[in-house]
C-alpha cells in the first residue's frame, strides 16, 4: 500500500487551539492574582509572625490595674496659695498727688496775745481705690507766712524726721493725731540754736501744709 501524506490541519483548527491556550492562560493568571490578593489580606489581618517565639513582645501578660476606690475626702489639703489669682485683691499703689486733698487746720481762727497756735493736717483720699502714702515727718511741711514774708517752716529746725507709710481707703479722711505747735517765733535753718528769735507781731497770718507733692489751700488766722 502506498504511503499517504499526513493531512494538513486547517487554519480554523489552529485558531481554536490558540484561543483555548489564551483562555487557559488568562484563567491561570486570574487564579494566581486572586490567590495573591487573598494571601496578602490574610497576612495583614492575622499577622501569623506575631506568634513566633522570636518576634513581637514578650509573653508576659500586663498587670491588671485595680478599679479606683471612690473617696469622699480630698487626697491632700488644699493649698491656700494656689487660689485663682483673679480672686486676689491687687496691692494698693502709691497715692497720686492729684488724688489727695490736703486741708490746713488751726485749733482757732483768732489767738490772744501769748496763745500758741496748734497746727494740723486733714487728708482725704479722693480716688476710687485704696492707695498708700508716706505721711511721716520726712514728707510733712507746715509753713506760716504773713504777706510775702515767711515766718516759720516746720522743716527748718526739724530733728530726726521719720517715714510713716499708711494705707488710705477710697474716700477715707484722716487728721494728724498730734498737732504741731508754733511758738510764734521766726525760724530759719541758721537760727535753730539761737537763744532768742524774733517773735511774730499782731496781724493776719496764713498756714499752708504739704505732704510730698500734694499741697493745701491757705488757711488764715489772726494773732493778737
What's the rounded mean pLDDT across residues 111-123? 97
Model confidence at 76, pLDDT cuts 50, 70, 90, reads: very low
Model confidence at 91, pLDDT cuts 50, 70, 90, reads: confident
Contact assessment for residue 140 and residue 154, using Cβ atoms and an 8 Å cutoff: yes
What's the rounded mean pLDDT across residues 166-173? 96
Model confidence at 28, pLDDT cuts 50, 70, 90, reads: confident
Helix H segments across the chain? 11-46
Residue with cell 515767711: 150
Q: Spell out the CATH class of 93-223.
A: mainly beta
Check pLDDT > 70 for residue 222.
yes
What's the rounded mean pLDDT across residues 24-52? 71
Tell me which of 196 and 220 has the higher pLDDT: 220
As a whole number, the mean pLDDT across the chain is 82
- What pLDDT digit, counting tens, does each position of 174-208 carry? 998 899 999 999 999 999 999 889 999 999 999 99
Query: In the chain, what's the furthest Cα-to-Cα distance?
Result: 185
What's the rounded mean pLDDT across residues 144-158? 96
Residue with cell 498756714: 207
Which of 47-61, 73-87, 151-165 has maximum average pLDDT?
A: 151-165
Contact assessment for residue 142 and residue 187, using Cβ atoms and an 8 Å cutoff: no
Q: Residue ranges of the domains in the chain?
A: 11-51, 93-223
DSSP H or E segment with residue 38: helix 11-46
Amino acid at each position: 500500500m502506498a504511503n499517504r501524506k499526513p493531512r494538513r490541519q486547517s487554519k480554523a483548527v489552529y485558531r481554536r487551539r490558540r484561543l483555548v491556550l489564551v483562555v487557559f492562560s488568562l484563567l491561570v493568571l486570574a487564579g494566581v492574582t486572586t490567590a495573591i490578593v487573598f494571601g496578602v489580606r490574610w497576612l495583614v489581618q492575622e499577622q501569623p509572625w506575631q506568634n513566633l517565639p522570636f518576634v513581637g513582645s514578650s509573653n508576659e501578660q500586663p498587670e491588671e490595674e485595680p478599679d479606683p476606690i471612690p473617696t469622699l475626702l480630698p487626697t491632700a489639703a488644699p493649698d491656700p496659695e494656689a487660689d485663682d489669682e483673679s480672686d486676689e485683691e491687687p496691692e494698693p499703689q502709691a497715692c497720686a498727688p492729684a488724688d489727695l486733698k490736703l486741708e490746713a487746720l488751726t485749733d482757732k481762727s483768732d489767738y490772744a496775745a501769748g496763745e500758741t497756735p496748734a497746727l494740723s493736717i486733714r487728708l482725704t483720699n479722693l480716688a476710687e481705690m485704696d492707695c498708700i502714702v508716706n505721711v511721716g515727718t520726712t514728707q510733712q511741711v507746715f509753713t506760716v507766712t504773713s504777706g510775702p514774708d515767711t515766718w516759720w517752716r516746720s522743716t527748718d529746725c526739724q530733728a530726726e524726721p521719720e517715714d510713716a507709710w499708711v494705707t488710705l481707703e477710697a474716700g477715707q479722711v484722716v487728721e494728724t493725731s498730734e498737732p504741731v505747735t508754733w511758738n510764734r517765733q521766726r525760724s530759719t535753718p541758721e537760727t535753730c540754736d539761737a537763744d532768742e528769735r524774733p517773735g511774730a507781731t499782731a496781724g493776719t497770718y496764713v498756714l499752708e501744709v504739704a505732704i510730698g507733692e500734694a499741697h493745701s489751700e491757705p488757711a488764715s488766722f489772726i494773732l493778737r
